[in-house]
Structure 1
Amino acid sequence: MRSQLLSAHPVRTALGASIVAGVALWFSRGAMDVVGGVETGARVAMLPSWPELAGLVVLLLVICVAGALKRPHARSGVVAERTLSWDSTRADALRPLYALALLLVPYLPWLPDRVPAVRILAGPGRWWLWAVAIGQVIWILASRIGWKFQLDRRIASFAIFGVSLAVYASTWAQVSQTGFFPGGDEPHYLVITQSLLRDHDFKIENNHERGDYAEYFPSRLRPDYRARGRNGEIYSIHPVGLPILAAPAYALGGYRAVVWFLMGVAATTDALLWLWTLTLTGSGAAATFAWAA
């Protein structure tokens, strides 16, 4: 039986994906912090040892290569050769692992200083990227090998909601410990909510004078307004729609309840987006990709 020549394409794909995944896992096991301020401080990274890097790369090499190899099946009356061959389908399914190279971006010399948002890939965002990459590998394998799924839209949409809520909650658990939240316009919206609940109006001057914001904001907070109204009262420049929606949650559990309410709204939006994309395209893969993106 003539042996089949190995294609260099699946070899490069499997080896490259395993090396990228191994290095990405090494960075994922590290930690980064900013010393001296978010915008002007210096980044300090604490990474595992070099032997661990080598071990992780070898481990991922073994896993990816083992997944990309296949044994030839013996046909009736023919003895199969005891050799391994590359499965192009399985090797190509490893391509999403190349996206894990993005986990190296927060450790580059100057880009994370110019674009601080990329630092999230050194925090909770790294596990989100891992989940998306591995999920895509599984999905590609399922579609190309021929696995059949009986997709229940209701169960799948609840799963999308649960995963989204878990991601938002884990991210909030991380950033809430930094001392920067609530920040920006967030406390001003919460003051409007307090005024609505306690005074049944949108006049915020007395709420600031009483220091109602001390329940969630440790520093002094000045009213955010441009000019007093015709009646001499101070009204916030921020829209009142969100405070009205958040009022029941704040009445039940304060600031934390409002955060959970907003995360629930965001997770519900994700589930509805997934359902809408599935209905529009008829493809579960397209809907899942749109949700993950």
Structure 2
Amino acid sequence: MTSRTWLVTGANSGFGRHLSEQLLSRGDRVAGTFRTPGSVDDLSAHWPDRFHPARLDVTDPAAIIAVVDQAWTALGRIDVVVSNAGYGLMGAAEELTDDQITHQIATNLTGSIRLIRAALPHLRRQGGGRILQLSSVGGQAAWPGGSLYHATKWGVEGFADALAGEVASFGIGVTIVEPGSARTNFRYGSSVLADRIEAYDATPVAGVRRILTERTTEGLGDPALMATAMIASVEQDPAPRRLVLGSDSYRTIENTLVTRLADVRSQRESAGATDAPLEGVATSGPADLTPAVRDR
């Protein structure tokens, strides 16, 4: 087992907490970020030489750069960057406020992008490393009542997918982590529920509201086992592009992709009907721009 140094955002709870505890227990070093004062004091007390805490709000661009630079300065090298900080904003799109929308995007999407961008110069200079981007089954599938959450997860998956091709030649691997439901505090602790508009009571959105208010269900996945799988994925070479965690995630993603592919294939002829006449002129499209994707 290779000893590594990790940067983990949201190290105080959920997957970030499980990752940090397991990594520290096995002898790795962790630069862990948190928002709530005192929430990682026990980690600092138990592993004072290997846990390096830093308070960070990922909606603050300047703070992200400062924390990432300070972590590299203090530790010399960071092998794995885990972009984990995030939360769920639930409710019909019409129920959400502009401030809620802005904060959800700033946390889950642009916060993740800025964190990775801040780390990339360091990873390049040291000759490589690994990025784990926490997404969700909700980054491949979507349900009523989670439109903005899905928007951020689908967005960050598109970013990470393109990024992987940009940085592979530098020895930097990128893995998108897609957990299903898990027994963390995501559902009943960190999720935000929009104010109710009565008109949506007779729509599927009501199901999401009922789950979050009645608190009678729990996730299928074991977050400790999921964290163990994330850690193990770093041993794989090349880096897996996606890491699907949980049987519910696998079933949902597979069904979603099969349905999506059937929808696309049904339009094979109609799609081609919109092509311009060739007339001997060289043409190009997305497939010409992404040879690495074609070769996967």
Q: TM-score, normalised by structure 1?
A: 0.25
User: Which structure: larger Rg?
Assistant: 1
Structure number with the higher strand fraction is 2
Higher share in helix: 1
The structure whose RCO (Cα within 8 Å, separation 6+) is larger is 2
Query: What TM-score, normalized by structure 2, do the two folds share?
Result: 0.25
